[in-house]
Chains A and B, each alone.
Chain A
Amino acid sequence: MSFVLVQVIVGGLLLGAVYALFSSGLTLVWGMMNIVNFAHGDFVMLGMYVAYVVYTLMGGGPILGAPLATLVLATVGVVVYFALIRDIMKGPMLAQILGTFGLALLLRYSVFWWFGANFLSMPPNIVGGTYDFAGLRIEASRLLAGVVALLVTFGLHLLLTRTSLGSKMLAVAEDQTAAQLMGIRPDTMQAVAWAIAAGATGLAGALIANFFYIVPTVGETLGIVAFVTVSLGGFGSVPGALVAGLLIGVIESLSGYLIGAVYKDIVVYVLFLFFLWFRPQGLMGKM
């Protein structure tokens, strides 16, 4: 195995961890309430802009930007839940799709109006440059995003499976009426789920902002990847999203390097469809 190939695989793993990070919020909302949030990519975008504003106003790097983006987006999540999601959940599937899609456009073009269409970028090396391990190059900002992705995914998994809050959330997801009879308020639990999901997404955005460009339409580019990751990993499965993210990252990098970048999406989607043929519930999803 050539040395370049090692670099390709390491790059793919780091990229995949980031895919996993920004997909975990989507899979959570999907699993909890069966809502497809088309505004998900734009939540990532908002997180990026929060990080950018924190940087320009206070000069703070990710230490300040990431927690603030998490808080701001968690708040946005709760507001969106009470203002929009709670009502459209009662409507037909189409209302949910169009509702969140409308939200996506509203967020995108609000940012567009406020910040303009220009591409923005965090200053290079805001997170300590690039490490060189005997020629193998790892960007500190990507490494940070990858490590946080693993921690957040693990944390979300623990929260859902090991805490009473998690059990309550899952109970609401399983059967709302039964949960209500047990004294659990579905409204509160779902609002909490939205806060967590949107917060994690904001965190992802703030971390991605350190090595990606920032533009109002960036949610379009990133949103599609999140959907593929979540369906491959299994709807509602947080560990599934992690494995799927890493897989897609490595497959994309390898096929991009070995076969050619224009073919990499073909490879990814052929494998994706082929896989769903055998296992429509995804890697770790339940039927």
Chain B
Amino acid sequence: MNFKHVTGLLCAAAMSLAVGSVAQAQDKVVKIGAILPMSGGTASIGAHAKAALDVAMDIINNPHPELGNFPLAKGAGLAGLGGAKVEVVIADNQGNPATGQNQALRLITEEKVAALFGSYQSGVTLTSSAIAEKYGVPFLNSESVASNLTERGFKWFFRTTPIATDFAKIYVDFLADIKAQGAKTDAVALVHDNTEYGTSVANTIAAAFKEKGQPVALDIAYPVNATDVQGQVLQLKDKKPDVVIMISYTSDAILFAKTMQSLDYKPAVLLADDAGYSDPSFTKAVGKISQGVFNRSSWVVGPSGSPSAIIADMYKKKSGEEMDDTVARQMQGFFVLAEAIDRAGSTEPAKVQAALKATDLKPEQLMIGYKGVKFDDKGQNILASGAIIQLQDGENYVSVWPKANAEKPPVLPYKGW
């Protein structure tokens, strides 16, 4: 018997041990499949989400009395299932709708997950949730904002995040408000990529402005992951809109910031629709040349000692990054899903679905600034809400609107660099 045989045998022994221990713990583990972009152009988002899910699992699976009455924090595991631990199985969607669909199928049929969670890009959520619907497995989405996702008559799809129509209304109101304070906001330009997210959000915002009697003056679409955006910036420079609304993922957001600087273009108001502009790597890379950009967010860190501040701290220790809006919405969504499974007291799909339908969380039970979590018949959280934040110093966003919970007044015009 040579060395190879010995190692082979040892491996086999180790594997059988591992299999044995899994089998023992099986009745005490609730598996949740998370479909996230772990590679591809938005891999930074996936990496942040993974860190957030690790923190969420820690909070759920271990006692955290410092979080007070935050759901699932006090005890170890899910009390409703005899202290069962939550385990996340992460699947890489590569930012690709077809891959997301395959991963959903694999997680359901092979990993036998109790529920699915994901998938960041609206286009991927669209396809992967269709598989969950077909197999009758609950799917919780926490961050995709394309309005049509909850317009498909799905029975197993639940979404906690505010959506494009909510944001469009926020943007219209915000611009009307700063107009009343003397800013010029008549001509609005939309700049968006050609993905499901970019086009559907742009359409929703355009419709909201049209309804207000202020049709969008300029609509600029560009292919996602562009190599060059000089043409688009020059179009803006030429047409001189008062307000530019950016609907872009991280790579393009960085390229736009750099190109705007090199071509010396500054609109009076630059307003971003989350996504790339909330990625911490955006602020690190080009924050200093994007000072004064407005953005939307549902995340506001609370006073020190509050659950949201403690969770933000745990997340920072885990990932080395500040908590941002996207990752906060993802984490909140995961807690909502875990809380429903706990309340269902079972991993049986129909029971989890019923528990999700009955979800009624109050603002003080959340880590994020929603007015609560309660789903309508379409699976959309009707209490989701958001605010406007501004990157005033080029490093950290501060909330500036609505006035009631603003840290600072909005600063105009856009400063840039």
If the complex has contacts A261-B221, A262-B223, are A4 and B261 also in contact, measured as CB distance less than 8 A?
Answer: no
Total A-B pairs in contact (CB under 8 Å)? 122
A217 near B227: Cβ-Cβ < 8 Å: no
Kindly supply a per-residue 1/0 record for chain A positions 169-204, scoring 1 wherever the CB is within 8 Å of any chain B CB and 0 otherwise: 000000000000000000000000000000000000
Per the bound structure, the CA–CA distance linking A117 and B282 in Å amounts to 12
Interface centre among A7, A118, A124, A215, by most chain B C-beta atoms within 10 angstroms, is A118
B238 near A4: Cβ-Cβ < 8 Å: yes
Distance (whole angstroms) from the CB of A246 to the closest CB of chain B: 14
Q: Which residues of A contact B165 (CB under 8 A)?
A: none
B234 near A8: Cβ-Cβ < 8 Å: yes
Per the bound structure, the CA–CA distance linking A70 and B279 in Å amounts to 32
Per the bound structure, the CA–CA distance linking A207 and B251 in Å amounts to 18
Per the bound structure, the CA–CA distance linking A4 and B226 in Å amounts to 21
If the complex has contacts A7-B234, A15-B230, A130-B264, are A120 and B194 also in contact, measured as CB distance less than 8 A?
Answer: no
Q: Which residues of B contact A109 (CB under 8 A)?
A: 39
A139 near B262: Cβ-Cβ < 8 Å: yes
Chain A's closest residue to B95 (CB) is: A217
A222 near B285: Cβ-Cβ < 8 Å: no
Per the bound structure, the CA–CA distance linking A85 and B31 in Å amounts to 44
Chain B's closest residue to A122 (CB) is: B285
Chain B's closest residue to A141 (CB) is: B262
B contacts with A: majority SS: helix
B359 contacts the other chain (Cβ, under 8 Å)?
no
A124 near B258: Cβ-Cβ < 8 Å: yes
Distance (whole angstroms) from the CB of B66 to the closest CB of chain A: 29
If the complex has contacts A118-B281, A121-B285, A124-B417, are A262 and B221 also in contact, measured as CB distance less than 8 A?
Answer: yes
Distance (whole angstroms) from the CB of A105 to the closest CB of chain B: 9
Chain A's closest residue to B221 (CB) is: A262
Choose one: B231, B250, B251, B289; the contact of A8 (CB below 8 Å): B231
B281 near A119: Cβ-Cβ < 8 Å: yes
Choose one: B222, B229, B232, B285; the contact of A119 (CB below 8 Å): B285
Per the bound structure, the CA–CA distance linking A225 and B227 in Å amounts to 9
A157 contacts the other chain (Cβ, under 8 Å)?
no
Kindly supply a per-residue 1/0 record for chain A positions 143-167, scoring 1 wherever the CB is within 8 Å of any chain B CB and 0 otherwise: 0000000000000000000000000
Distance (whole angstroms) from the CB of A7 to the closest CB of chain B: 6
B227 near A222: Cβ-Cβ < 8 Å: yes
Per the bound structure, the CA–CA distance linking A256 and B232 in Å amounts to 7
B289 near A124: Cβ-Cβ < 8 Å: yes
A115-131 residues with Cβ-Cβ distance < 8 A to B are 116-121, 124, 130
Choose one: A213, A225, A254, A260; the contact of B251 (CB below 8 Å): A213
B228 contacts the other chain (Cβ, under 8 Å)?
yes
B255 near A212: Cβ-Cβ < 8 Å: yes
Kindly supply a per-residue 1/0 record for chain A positions 214-232, scoring 1 wherever the CB is within 8 Å of any chain B CB and 0 otherwise: 0111001110010000000
Chain A's closest residue to B262 (CB) is: A139
A contacts with B: majority SS: helix
B40 near A217: Cβ-Cβ < 8 Å: yes
Q: Which residues of B contact A12 (CB under 8 A)?
A: 230
Distance (whole angstroms) from the CB of A210 to the closest CB of chain B: 10
B227 near A221: Cβ-Cβ < 8 Å: yes
B263 contacts the other chain (Cβ, under 8 Å)?
yes
B43 near A221: Cβ-Cβ < 8 Å: no
Per the bound structure, the CA–CA distance linking A136 and B228 in Å amounts to 18
Per the bound structure, the CA–CA distance linking A269 and B216 in Å amounts to 31
B234 near A262: Cβ-Cβ < 8 Å: no
Kindly supply a per-residue 1/0 record for chain B positions 259-287, scoring 1 wherever the CB is within 8 Å of any chain A CB and 0 otherwise: 00111100000000000000111101110
Chain B's closest residue to A15 (CB) is: B228
B39-78 residues with Cβ-Cβ distance < 8 A to A are 39-41, 43-44, 46-47
Choose one: A15, A211, A216, A264; the contact of B43 (CB below 8 Å): A216
Chain A's closest residue to B261 (CB) is: A124
Counting chain B residues whose Cβ lies within 8 A of the other chain, the interface size class is 35 or more
Q: Which residues of B contact A282 (CB under 8 A)?
A: none
B235 contacts the other chain (Cβ, under 8 Å)?
yes
B41 near A253: Cβ-Cβ < 8 Å: no
Q: Which residues of A contact B251 (CB under 8 A)?
A: 119, 213, 215, 221
A257 contacts the other chain (Cβ, under 8 Å)?
yes
B254 near A121: Cβ-Cβ < 8 Å: yes
If the complex has contacts A117-B43, A260-B221, A262-B222, are A137 and B285 also in contact, measured as CB distance less than 8 A?
Answer: no
A65 contacts the other chain (Cβ, under 8 Å)?
no
Distance (whole angstroms) from the CB of A270 to the closest CB of chain B: 15
Interface centre among A212, A213, A215, by most chain B C-beta atoms within 10 angstroms, is A213
Per the bound structure, the CA–CA distance linking A112 and B42 in Å amounts to 12
B131 contacts the other chain (Cβ, under 8 Å)?
no
B227 near A257: Cβ-Cβ < 8 Å: no
If the complex has contacts A124-B289, A252-B228, are A119 and B279 also in contact, measured as CB distance less than 8 A?
Answer: yes
B81 contacts the other chain (Cβ, under 8 Å)?
no
B254 near A257: Cβ-Cβ < 8 Å: no
If the complex has contacts A118-B44, A119-B281, are A137 and B264 also in contact, measured as CB distance less than 8 A?
Answer: yes
A11 contacts the other chain (Cβ, under 8 Å)?
yes
Per the bound structure, the CA–CA distance linking A8 and B237 in Å amounts to 12
Choose one: A211, A225, A257, A265; the contact of B258 (CB below 8 Å): A211
Chain B's closest residue to A216 (CB) is: B43
B147 contacts the other chain (Cβ, under 8 Å)?
no
Q: List 28 A-B contacts (CB under 8 A).
A: A7-B230, A8-B230, A8-B234, A11-B234, A109-B39, A117-B39, A119-B250, A119-B254, A120-B284, A121-B284, A124-B286, A137-B263, A211-B262, A215-B41, A215-B251, A216-B43, A217-B39, A220-B40, A220-B41, A220-B225, A221-B225, A225-B227, A256-B231, A256-B232, A261-B220, A261-B221, A261-B232, A262-B223
The list of the 4 closest CB pairs from A to B, nearest first, reads: A256-B231, A121-B285, A261-B222, A117-B43
Chain B residues near A (Cβ < 8 Å): 39-41, 43-44, 46-47, 194, 220-223, 225-232, 234-235, 237-238, 250-251, 254-255, 258, 261-264, 279-282, 284-286, 288-289, 417
Known A11-B228, A262-B222; further 18 A-B contacts with Cβ < 8 A:
A7-B234, A8-B230, A112-B43, A116-B47, A117-B44, A119-B254, A119-B281, A120-B285, A124-B288, A124-B289, A139-B262, A213-B258, A213-B285, A215-B41, A217-B39, A222-B227, A253-B228, A261-B226
